[in-house]
Amino acid sequence: MRNIQDRHRLWSEHPYFDEETRHELEQITDPREIEDRFYMDLEFGTGGLRGVIAAGTNRMNKYVIRKVTQGLAECVCDHGPEGMKRGVVIAYDSRRYSAEFALEAALVLTKNGVKVYLFDALRPTPELSFAVRQLHALAGIVVTASHNPKAYNGYKVYWDDGGQVPPLKADQILSRIEARENWLGIEPMALEAAKKSGLLEIVGEEIDQTYLARVRELALHPDLDVQKGGDLRIVYTPLHGAGNSLVRRALAELGFGSVTVVPEQELPDPEFTTVPYPNPEIPATFELARKYGLETQADLLLATDPDADRLGVVIRDPQGNYIQLTGNQIGVLLTYYILSQKKALGTLPENATIIKTVASTDLADEVANSFNVRVENVLTGFKFIAEKEKEMEEGDWGTFQFGFEESYGYLAGDFVRDKDGIIASVLLAEAALYYRQLEGLTLLDLLERIYEEFGYYLDDQESLALEGIQGKEEMTRIMDSLRQEEILELNGISIEKVDDYEKRVGKNLITGQTYPLTLPRSNVLRFSFEGGGFVMVRPSGTEPKIKFYFSVKANTLQEAENTLRNLKEEVMHRIAQIRSV
């Protein structure tokens, strides 16, 4: 407790911390609030950090940015003059302090003699990934909290392949951060000095143009897009974020000229005043888009989150109703579209591979297998998809076609190494156009066709917010209890396999045999049902939540809906009992 008090006193009194920070901390009278702000440093995980914007070691602020960036700078300097010259690319989204945090990071890096490419305005996260590769930089930073509530911001680190920083490199950065116990003495370079030295270079439109040219190359039917794209009516909302310019430009350059942008959500707004919070998974984020959809009789509603790495989709059915797709449904539709069209065009390679996460629907596996396409399943988090793509590329044992995760993240192509809402928007629009023009189908019709062929797979999620020290302890208790009890069935459905990624061991409950799991260690439990479907449980790596994933397979939609509802009720009742002990 003394350490907490000492930290609080240092941040409240020392002149290194600005007056705004000291004043904010002086106003806090609740000991629990002080404890929560100072009992730990905001955790730097495998991808970076994320937290509530406020003063304190366990919050997002410029002093935390300085300390983390200093650790990154030292790792870059370990690569000598060549690594320092290759430098770091920095992008940011529309959140509070995003631009200020990005500049703070840039000036700490330049103070260490590291070259920095700083975007001239907000940009999508996937463009940051592209820019790292395009500029042959050693690393990248994007300041964003993605789809989290407005109180949050974050800091994600990328390495030279454009993917999120790999675990070994993340550990090296973390060790540098932890080695510096003193919060004082990290002084950024003066802005004008950084510019004058040539270490700080502002980039923008030249990267946009090159990126958009690569996006256009992903179109499978560019002639159809040019000739008929204007007939597809689209409503798009960037949800006050960074996707506005590039999504619109990408669609327009391919021929999709009938795009209405939701005006109330077009411009950056760190308060996200028009939505509960800016997550395209949530139906409420489409409320305004639906209004403009009805006015324009739009066929398709698209929404990207604040850093435009996620895409949400709503389709108009023949009766004029707007139906929102789940992340898994979007992933399956894009998987089917890409593989079927490439096969028809004769461009599907023999070693074609898709990559998805273990939390995503097994329906995609069935679709891919029907085209004799290999499926690689990886841990939850898009960085694992990017790492597997890199592994395939370097080992020359597969050709990446598409990757997705159920949380609305999708990727095609080889020039970005993270989920990309711009690429997904273009491919989804083209798929909608293709099936309407050539087969007279909506994407909902196509989804029904896929269900009829492979079975009705439905999925859902639940999350429990468990914050602070007590929350972490409760998450541990839940995971320990689920590990210790041998669960043979859920909702009357027999469990075939239990995979424990923390222990890296799986067990077939029918044969009693155990088998090794080759994916990296992670606190994840996956219960796979006989005949298809699963329940998966994992504490979030970026938020104070424990997440539950549900997937069921049935012969009819009604049966699948009933099974899913009952399964969720039983599992969450079981979790409530564990918490009550």
C-alpha neighbours within 13 Å on the C-beta side of residue 458: 16
Beta bridge pairs of residue 495: 529
Q: Distance between CA 135 and CA 211 in Å, rounded?
A: 12
- Single-letter amino acid code for the residue at 298: A
Is there a contact between 187 and 195 (Cβ–Cβ < 8 Å)?
no
Residues with Cβ within 8 Å of residue 169, at least 6 apart in sequence: 75, 159
Q: Distance between CA 47 and CA 50 in Å, rounded?
A: 10
Q: Quick one: which of 288, 307, 296 has its CA closest to 246? A: 307
User: How far is Cα of residue 216 from the mean position of the Cα atoms in its chain?
Assistant: 23
DSSP per position, 215-258 = HHTT-S-HHHHHHHGGGS-EEEE-TTSTTHHHHHHHHHHHT---
Q: Find the radius of gyration of the CA atoms of the chain.
A: 24
Q: Distance between CA 97 and CA 405 in Å, rounded?
A: 29
State the Cα angle at 344 between 342 and 346, rounded to 5°.
Answer: 65
Q: Of 94, 98, 146, 528, which one is the catalytic site residue?
A: 146
3-state secondary structure of 155: strand
Is there a catalytic annotation at residue 146? yes
Q: Distance between CA 565 and CA 576 in Å, rounded?
A: 17
Q: Name the burial class of residue 484, with classes exposed (0-12), middle (13-18) and buried (19+) by CB atoms within 10 angstroms of its CB.
A: exposed
DSSP per position, 445-476 = HHHHHHHHHH-EEEEEEEEEE--HHHHHHHHH
Q: Strand 322-324's sheet: what is its strand order?
A: 259-261, 234-237, 300-304, 311-316, 322-324
Is there a contact between 65 and 155 (Cβ–Cβ < 8 Å)?
yes
State the Cα angle at 462 between 335 and 39, rounded to 5°.
Answer: 115
Residue 274, token pair as written in the block: 């028009």
Q: Name the burial class of residue 544, with classes exposed (0-12), middle (13-18) and buried (19+) by CB atoms within 10 angstroms of its CB.
A: middle
Catalytic residues: 146
